[in-house]
Amino acid sequence: MSDQYDTITQAGPGTPMGELMRQYWIPAALSEELTPDGTPVRILLLNEKMIAFRDTAGRVGMMDHRCPHRCASLFYGRNEEGGLRCVYHGWKYDVEGNCLDMANIPERQHFTDKVHTKAYLTKEHNGVVWVYMGDPARAPKDLPQFECLLGPASAVKMRFIQRRCNWLQAIEGDLDTSHVGLLHFGFVKPTQDLDPGRKDLTVNRAPEYRLQETKFGLTYGAYRPSPTVPGGTYWRVAHFLYPFWIMPPVAVLENNVMVRAFIPMDDEHCMFVGFESTAFMRENDRERTSRQGDGGYLRDNLLPNESGWYGRYRMVECEENDYLISRDEQKTKSFTGIEGIHTQDQCVTESMGGIIDRSFENLAPSDIAIARNRRMLLKAVEAFQNGVRPPACDDPSAYALARGGSFTTTTEGDWLGLHKEAVASVREKSSVPA
């Protein structure tokens, strides 16, 4: 069984899941991290150590950190005059990995045309550098067309946050909806003046489930009788989208214009990358969201970035300080004693260890989405190894209509149809094409 899970947890070069992930464009850095002729940045992605830099003309390069001459790290290189020059012997490379100069060799002996460092395709969009790590000839023409990235860049909030655990257990944390009423709102008592969403979550903390595989991944709906709408059913719908994206129902459908990823750095570290947009909200929802802020979900409570492989986007709250838990508050006003929803999620998924020992697990009916998602990933990897292209990798528009979120309905019918109608309704009200 552990060998089976190794197949979908390991992301390095040559691994089944790692090669599948390399068929997609991946967000790797914020554009602001790279300045023309500025300091190179270490990027650890899918178990590969890379260097990112911006050249004199503003072009972005992403390449193996080793100089192909004697393997000294190009992190220490001079970013100068259209290329990155290794400080060991002065060999210089452009953003495409072409060798431009061999400073320690007489010019008549140069063989720059025969030396090429491993470099990757890059794109920039909305302040993010994306990288494609697969065969350049198979690179999708477009970046994934998530709804939240189709509006103006000024309306998009972005966050990068490192998490010290395997990418899959981080994803499964967001796939698991039943924890929300406990980990995040376990201290909330259902009262008459509680807002409807939290009341729906806390009156009944044990939902039922429906699931469906889709052309982009997996959709599930968790449902329970609504205590706020007579005869109504409260739904929380989420999507897993290949290869590592998720749309959890963190808000009502109207306001849940978002997507997030947990991207493997190596097998025991991943990078949370979150995008959310207010562009498509109704004006009163946009104003209310602006006033409320992010509720502590994506606070900028990060340590200053450092230059090491694990030095970017680290939270202040971590295992070493017990996530700043307050045992007094845990007894009096907070189920966890830990402040912030993201920090609570970070705590429990990191506490499992770098990679879960799944032989120790005892899955329950509430884990049906997690179990189904694992089986789906295993099938997708097997199909890819047999020559079948991974879902949606060649059709980035497949993501465009997906939206997670919560809604309440008194209508009977197929749950996927009800969700589709609810999304179409909120999009029509917010001037978004259905």
**CATH 2.102.10.10 corresponds to the domain 25-138:** yes
State the pTM of this model: 0.92
As a CATH number, domain 147-429 is 3.90.380.10
Residue with tokens 């655990």, as numbered in its chain: 165
Rg of the chain over all Cα atoms, to the nearest angstrom: 23
**How many Å apart are CA 161 and CA 125, to the nearest integer?**
19
How confident is the model over 405-434, as pLDDT tens digits? 999 999 988 999 999 999 999 988 876 544
Please report, for the chain, the start and end positions of each structural domain, with discontinuous segments joined by +.
25-138, 147-429
For 389, which DSSP code? Answer: P
pLDDT band at 365 (very low <50, low <70, confident <90, very high): confident
Kindly report the backbone phi and psi dihedral angles of residue 323, in degrees, each rounded to the nearest multiple of 5, phi listed first.
55, 30
Residue 86 has pLDDT above 80, yes or no: yes
DSSP assignment of 26-73 equals EEEEEGGG--BT---EEEEETTEEEEEEE-TTS-EEEEESB-TTT--B
Of the chain, the percentage scoring pLDDT greater than 90 comes to: 74
Residue 298 has pLDDT above 60, yes or no: no
Closest CA to 239 of 147, 154, 134: 147
pLDDT band at 178 (very low <50, low <70, confident <90, very high): confident
Residue 208 has pLDDT above 90, yes or no: no
3-state secondary structure of 425: helix
pLDDT recorded at residue 7: 94
pLDDT recorded at residue 428: 84
Residues 6+ apart with CB under 8 A from 370: 172, 175, 176, 363
Residue 404 and residue 238 in contact, taking contact as beta carbons nearer than 8 Å: yes
Crossing angle, helix 368-385 and helix 167-175, to 10 degrees?
140
